A and B are shown apart, each in its own frame.
Chain A
């Protein structure tokens, strides 16, 4: 009897398994135990129903819950540059002179993020900045990649206070075009008890590692740029 086929295939199988385990142990020494345990409970079929790319990223995201935050409060408060009558999507509008808003950093307001969200966690009126429901949002990041202006980011859910502006324009210019943009006045920097806020490139930026959620900056911001985002009731 001819045993060659059995030997070759069996040998190949063992060789593949051996080599893979070797590479695995050589490259990935520090495995995240929480992630590994969670992964054991998932089906592992990578169906993408949870909104994540595959089961592994889904398991990795469970360590700390994150929420998507739109870093713009413009919408109706921000002046228009021209009358736009094209296809009603943000990605189309963003290709014409960087969008119809005077502020090239701001939300265009046609709701590409709303369409991308598989959980219906985002609601919005046309022309206004979308509102993300903190309770429903799972932090999958689909809206982050859908936004052509890249003003949505994932932030750990335990922080509520956000600077709702992404404009790097000078304060004087921001004041002309937008009634809620950051004018980099620096009041929040002075009032912050934990020194978590810094002005970088004409924009106040919160260092979330230092933020204590106290909300003093929310009350003192002259432009109402800094907002406390609470779960939608």
Chain B
């Protein structure tokens, strides 16, 4: 198990592979299953989530350390984190619309994103200091990008495979995700994590 005493590299590795956010913890599935298109769309969405996740974690940690914990109102963490996520995602959407109009990020699914919320809540739950919480959320973001890129390859293959009519679309994606999560079970117990 990781704790605040673990090395940041170990925490990163744990969040990225052993406790992969999608395949080991089944968090953030709404965004994960709603990517339409191949590698490029998946990569863009993963990149958007990565940037927002890392930015949000900094704000979360500061908010928790300087406002929530001193005033003894830690029970407000979920609702305040959601507000911060909405702020960051909407601001990022406006920035993207202004400076990168050619790329279409699926920001709708990020605005209510469980990955970013989960990374904030896990950080406060573990009681991480700043460096460790940065390592943890960066690991979560990289794990998500890894998962979505691996899955985009499967998506491209399944597009041309003779899938039974009843399984087309989401059902076969869920079956594939289950198989992938069994693959990620192989990391379990690595380095004592």
Taking beta carbons and an 8 Å cutoff, which residues of A are in contact with B?
4-5, 8-9, 12-13, 16, 19-20, 23-24, 27-28, 46, 53-54, 87, 89, 91-92, 95, 145
Contacts A20-B87, A23-B91, A28-B98; is A8 near B80 (CB within 8 Å)? Answer: yes
Residues of B near A91 (CB, < 8 A) are: 159-160
> In the bound complex, how far is the Cα of B36 from the Cα of A145, in angstroms?
10
Interface pair A8/B83, CB less than 8 Å apart: no
Besides A23-B95, A46-B108, 13 more A-B contacts (Cβ < 8 Å) are: A8-B76, A8-B80, A9-B76, A13-B83, A16-B84, A19-B91, A23-B91, A23-B94, A27-B94, A87-B161, A89-B160, A92-B160, A95-B160
- 1/0 contact string of B154-191 vs chain A (CB within 8 Å): 00000111100000000000000000000000000000
Is A12 in contact with B80, judged by CB distance below 8 angstroms?
A: yes
**Residue-wise interface mask of B (79-108) relative to A, using a CB-CB cutoff of 8 A (1 in contact, 0 not):** 110011011001100110110000010101
Is the CB–CB distance between B73 and A5 below 8 Å? yes
A20–B90 contact, CB under 8 A?
Answer: yes
The contact size tier of chain B is: 20 to 34
Residue among B72, B73, B75, B160 with the most chain A CB within 10 A? B160
Q: How far is the CA of A89 from the CA of B168 in the complex (A)?
A: 15
Is B37 part of the binding interface, using a Cβ–Cβ cutoff of 8 Å?
yes
Contact with A along B24-48 (1 / 0, CB 8 A): 0000000000000100000000000
B62 within 8 A of A: no
Main secondary structure on chain A at its contact with chain B? helix
Among B75, B80, B104, B106, find the residue whose CB has the most chain A CB atoms closer than 10 A: B80
Q: In the assembled complex, which residues on chain A have CB atoms less than 8 Å from the CB atom of B162?
A: 87
Whether A5 and B94, one on each chain, are in contact in the complex, defined by CB atoms closer than 8 angstroms, is: no
Closest to B87 in A: A16
A12, A27, A95: which contacts B98 (Cβ < 8 A)? A27
Decide: B73 and A8 in contact? CB cutoff 8 A: yes
| Bound-complex Cα distance A9 to B68 (A) | 10
Q: In the complex, A8 Cα to B72 Cα: how many Å?
A: 11
Contact among A4, A9, A53, A92 for B104, CB-based, below 8 A: A53
Chain A, Cβ-Cβ closest to B86: A16
Are B71 and A4 closer than 8 Å at their CB atoms? yes
For residue A145, which residue of chain B has the nearest CB?
A: B37
Which chain B positions have C-beta within 8 A of A19? 87, 91
- Min CB gap B173→A, angstroms: 17
Residues in A whose Cβ lies below 8 Å from that of B68: 8
Task: State A20–B91 Cα separation when bound (angstroms).
Answer: 6
Q: List 20 A-B contacts (CB under 8 A).
A: A4-B72, A5-B75, A8-B68, A8-B76, A9-B76, A9-B79, A12-B84, A13-B83, A16-B84, A20-B87, A23-B94, A24-B94, A27-B95, A27-B97, A28-B94, A28-B97, A53-B104, A89-B159, A91-B159, A95-B160
